[in-house]
Amino acid sequence: MRFLPTNQIWRYWSFERFLTDVASLDIRDVDLWLCNQHVNIDAHAVYNASEVARLVSRYGVRIRTLTPEQSNPKAYNIASSDSQVQRLTEGYYRQIVSLAARLGARRISVNAGWRLLDDDPSRAWDALCTMLRAICHMAAEEGIEVCVEPLSRTQYRLVMDADGLSRLLGEVNEKNLRATLDTGTIARNGDSLSAHLREVGERVGYVHLTNLDPHVFAHLGWGDSRGVLEPGAVLQELEAHGYEGDCALEMTASAYYDRPREVLARSIETLKGCER
């Protein structure tokens, strides 16, 4: 398996600092989270695309995945039934696909959006399937895979477990649509990683390899004493079900913001120790 750091805990640092830190740890493959501090993107353009491409090339880093800004209150919601939001969302993902092609990324990782609490869930579900299918068509033109992730359980989300994920994959039914499984979110929901792996099977295209403290709503790094998941057991479970693909190290705890390199180094060391 290949571990891909994300830039989420570098949100108060420059994009170049993220690349410097990653390269200093002899890491070459990353998942690029599209926060506007690092990638100035909206529904109309990627305004600093040339600078992003220049820096990535300078530091010898390969962008394997693009992860959009996509949770409420962001403007882009793939499950919205509002025609104006749909127009903006489609434009945003068109820019993402274009950037992915330019940077050589072969995957974008999305979640299934949310519904307004006074909207009909079936209407939001239909909107989700329509927009996700459109995103898959855009991505397919560039040979890019789309991976969709279930999130933690709330009344406004549409896909939160293996059954919902399997249903979405089946109804959208595009060859380049795969699943992202988040180990921490699955545990937070009280679900089983093995059950997700059995249900989704070969359609798993990506893993967010995250730890958690059930009392704190954040993704923890590996080697953090607050985490309740055992890294060796998680890796063994993935391997037992035949998963050998990329694993994003998506960490979001605010306590990490002032020392992201240290947190990443500890996570990599912890995970590599499990492989020995």
Per-residue pLDDT for 75 more than 90?
A: no
Per-residue pLDDT for 268 more than 60?
A: yes
Sequence-separated (6 or more) residues with CB below 8 Å from residue 208: 109, 149, 180, 181, 182, 183, 184, 185, 219, 247, 248, 250
Determine the pLDDT at residue 71. Answer: 84
Per-residue pLDDT for 276 more than 80?
A: no
Task: Give pLDDT tens digits for 208-233.
Answer: 999 999 999 999 999 999 999 999 99
Task: Give pLDDT tens digits for 86-99.
Answer: 999 999 999 999 99
Omega within 30 of 0 (cis) for the link into 73: yes
- The share of the chain scoring above pLDDT 90, in percent, equals 94
Mean pLDDT of the chain: 96
Q: How confident is the model at residue 72 (pLDDT cuts 50, 70, 90)?
A: confident
Sequence-separated (6 or more) residues with CB below 8 Å from residue 116: 124, 156
Q: How confident is the model at residue 274 (pLDDT cuts 50, 70, 90)?
A: confident
Q: Domain-by-domain residue ranges, the chain?
A: 2-275
Euclidean distance between CA atoms 233 and 240, whole angstroms: 10
Residue 84 C-alpha from the chain's centroid: 25
Strand partners, 223: none
Tell me the CATH number for domain 2-275: 3.20.20.150
Per-residue pLDDT for 141 more than 60?
A: yes
Query: In a 3-state reduction of DSSP, which class is residue 220?
Result: strand
